[in-house]
Structure 1
Amino acid sequence: MFYRALVGESISQFRHYHSRRRSLAGLCDLFDDGTACPACPKADGTMIVTMDANFGLVRKRSSGKSVTEPLHGNSMFVRDEDVEEYLLSHPDCTKPTEDCSNFKAGNLLQSQNQQRKIDVTGVFGASCRHEIPLTFLNMTHGERLAYPKFIIRELEKRYKDKNVNLHFIYGVACVLFTHMHKTGEGIPQGISMAVPAFHVYGHKLQFQIMYSTRRLPGFGLTDGEGMERLWSFLRRFSRVTKEMTPSHRLDLLTDALLYYGRRKSTDLEVQLIQRWDKAEKVWSFAEKEISAVLKEAPMCISERDVQQWMETEIEVAQPARLKTRPTDTVPRWKRNYVMKLTKFNQLRSLNQEYPTGDETQLESDLQANTME
């Protein structure tokens, strides 16, 4: 206990001191503390966010409790109490049960004995399209839909009244979209969802059409796999953080995330130039391919026709339960009622045309009328 208090606390204070000296965020509110992406819009624009869960960053119950709050506060991680309160108020946000994805979450590989020994089952987080870490939270269950919904709510509040459209990329965005549609929440205005370019091939064909980043407008050439690269860097800390107290663990992970974001933003201009060159090459190649296809078409087809086919393809692939019913459509029960009432009046008028005793002819006419 004394060793942890002397050594662990002093190391945490040393790292925190270097972090404050590097950013100087405590001296002026206008200074960047390393949590904001320099390339993403701060207002009036579109921001692409990738979300994912990491079940390797666990914490053992036997690692003790914290005496003090984390030195970094909630600069990167949301308060556990806020997440737990949200989970209690959204008990319907259970784990995804849809079978559209063939990918299995990492927590399914853990045994029951292992789960009883840990109090934090992993980390759920989000980063921007430039792979700058944004916000994270500790998970105490499996991969529940409440975690991405909480992240969406937090980022929506952060960019409220700033006219920023949020485009989220999530491995099971199709399940999340369907769940929010079923519960009546709906997707807030200015928010759209997609599945990462690699993960989408593990989904059904209709969801590949509906949620691929290559098919939806506004996502460009973003592959959505930025969180996987971030987890690859952060997994090296799992052996250390699982033995730490909650506050020391959050401080170390926050320091690692700040370092990762600083490393990404240092040569961000080089990455943007490379992505711009790639986008120009893809655009030029696509234009040549489309022109060649249109020339070989048997009839006069324009690019507008191709665009219309793409829109029709997405509309046809959309499940019936997600399609919005037009407001001027007559309800089904009214149509059925009118049809049955019309049939009843026909049978009653047919019955009045025949005198009593002519049941044979009446029965044959009724059968013919029913078959019609």
Structure 2
Amino acid sequence: WNQGHFWATSLFDLGLTIRLGHIPGGPPCFYSQKSRGHFIVIHTNGIHTLNVEFCACGLSLEPRNQLLHIQWYPASPLDPQTAVTFACLRQFQHFNCLGKIPAFEYYRGLETMTKSRLRKNPPDRYKAFLRCIFQWRHLKMCKRGARGHAASGITGMALGELAIDCPACPQFGKNLPMTCMNAPPHLAHVCFLYTLFLALDANFRLRNRMVSNHYKSLTLGDGWAYLVPCAEYEDHILKYVGQDEMSSCSGFAAMFLANLKNVKGLRVSGVGGCICARHRVWQGNGIGDLQKGERYCNMDFIFWAAIRGNDYLCIAVSYDISCQWSRNFWSRMDDLDPSIKVKYGDGRIMFMIPKFHLRAHKSACHMKYSFNYAPGVGQTHGETVEEGWSQSNKAAAQTKEMGPGTRAMTLDDIFGFANWQTIENLGMLNPLPV
């Protein structure tokens, strides 16, 4: 209040000082040391300039640890001058995963709130905010994977371990006894009980431009969640540089030609995905980039990465071009992993075409690959992967311009959030009458 009217000011101008003590919530330290320059805090209601004094006595922790104790995430581990509150990081993560709001738009909103209050532009800390978000995604994923309680810590992570598994799908040793592995696979009722239903598909909306590189944009935890391990995947793809895209029958020809257009300047022309065909849960290591259309080498590796390390009695694979993909499937698997043929080579993998896509195929495909004539599949339609794409495609605009590491972390977070939502609401889809 100044001369009869309100005057824009801030807590910094009013002399507010945040003093950090030895113990969170304890008394401030008398041997405090001021931060070098003005300290910037990014919160849910704007960007704030504050005076911060760190504890500097013999009992003090590192400044970054003192900030973490009050739930401020430091933008730098050494001499931090900027921090983002945990509340702000949580809010952005939810907005980004659910509403697909880009970090740039979210930060612009914080700038607008700050500018409307102080009538001046706040300090630019956009890059620091991006750095905190990048690390926050990784740490939260490891925390939810209980790596803090593991004896091997974060270094003992296995591929795909941070992916959320479908609790309703057959998992021997978890929700099924190991003795079920000896059951005969040709019985319809056994297939219905113990078959893993997967759906494969390619998505040409999640493209990525050729910006940055793997050296400048690193991936934290490569292959630990939903995306395939980058190095192993690239080594496999390099063996099939000259391989053409899969041919298709009937009405899919025009669609495949359209997917090959407008790929100039793109590092990734789309992604291939593997999802639970019954419960819409993305599989660990079941997402991979497509470099040039929908090729056998890409989809073979994605399918193999999604099922390796696990044992299943039967697998029913729904794929809109199963009539093409199933040809020479076992010979290609021999080149990739001969153990797949040993496990599933005696008719334990069924190749199906989802019901909506089946109508565009030739009549010869209708009986051989139709869910309507397959034993033990119930009313499975195989189109759940399209439901999953409808959610992730909203992030296409923001991930198209990202570097490879940032894009991988963002997609892992989005697919993980989708799985968490699906599993959380799994028991509410068809509630029993009271």
Pairwise TM-score range, normalised by the shorter structure: 0.5 to 0.7
**Larger RCO of the pair (alpha carbons < 8 Å, separation 6+):** 1
User: 1:63 touches 1:243 (CA, 8 Å); kept in 2?
Assistant: no
User: 2:281 touches 2:422 (CA, 8 Å); kept in 1?
Assistant: yes
Alignment equivalent of 1:80, drawn from 207, 216, 230: 230
Partner of 2:422: 264
Alignment equivalent of 1:145, drawn from 266, 284, 296: 296
Higher strand share: 2
State the distance in 1 between where 2:323 and 2:422 align.
29
Instruction: Using the TM superposition, give the Cα deviation of residue 19 of structure 1 relative to its aligned residue in structure 2, in angstroms.
Output: 3.5
Partner of 1:15: 137
**Inter-CA distance 123–26: structure 2 relative to 1 (3 Å threshold):** farther
User: 1:55 touches 1:106 (CA, 8 Å); kept in 2?
Assistant: no
Is 1:193 equivalent to 2:351 in the alignment? yes
Instruction: Give the secondary structure class of the aligned counterpart of 2:289.
Output: strand
The one-letter code of the counterpart of 1:268 is L
Partner of 1:246: 404
Partner of 2:265: 117
Instruction: Give the secondary structure class of the aligned counterpart of 2:315.
Output: strand
CA deviations on 1:105-134 (whole Å, 9 max, x unpaired) are: 4672453xx312111111111011211111
Partner of 2:196: 47
User: 2:145 touches 2:162 (CA, 8 Å); kept in 1?
Assistant: yes
Instruction: Using the TM superposition, give the Cα deviation of residue 28 of structure 1 relative to its aligned residue in structure 2, in angstroms.
Output: 3.7
Mapping for residues 50-129 of structure 1, pairs under 5 Å: 50-67=199-216, 69-74=218-223, 75-90=225-240, 94-102=244-252, 104-105=254-255, 108-109=258-259, 111=261, 114-128=262-276, 129=278
Is 1:157 equivalent to 2:315 in the alignment? no
CA deviations on 1:269-328 (whole Å, 9 max, x unpaired) are: 233668xx9xxxxxxxxxxxxxxxxxxxxxxxxxxxxxxxxxxxxxxxxxxxxxxxxxxx
Aligned length: 270
Larger radius of gyration: 1
Mapping for residues 20-39 of structure 1, pairs under 5 Å: 20-28=142-150, 33-39=162-168
Partner of 1:202: 360
State the distance in 1 between where 2:324 and 2:130 align.
42
Instruction: Using the TM superposition, give the Cα deviation of residue 42 of structure 1 relative to its aligned residue in structure 2, in angstroms.
Output: 1.0
TM-score normalized by structure 2? 0.56
User: 1:76 touches 1:136 (CA, 8 Å); kept in 2?
Assistant: yes
Instruction: Using the TM superposition, give the Cα deviation of residue 205 of structure 1 relative to its aligned residue in structure 2, in angstroms.
Output: 1.1
| Structure 1 unmatched ranges of 5 or more | 278-372
| Structure 2 unmatched ranges of 5 or more | 1-123, 173-179, 181-193, 335-340
State the distance in 1 between where 2:217 and 2:298 align.
26
Higher helix share: 1
The one-letter code of the counterpart of 2:412 is T
Mapping for residues 169-184 of structure 1, pairs under 5 Å: 169-180=318-329
State the distance in 2 between where 1:212 and 1:93 align.
28
**Inter-CA distance 248–49: structure 2 relative to 1 (3 Å threshold):** same
User: 1:50 touches 1:225 (CA, 8 Å); kept in 2?
Assistant: yes
The one-letter code of the counterpart of 1:141 is K
- Provide the alpha-carbon RMSD of the alignment: 3.1
TM-score normalized by structure 1? 0.64
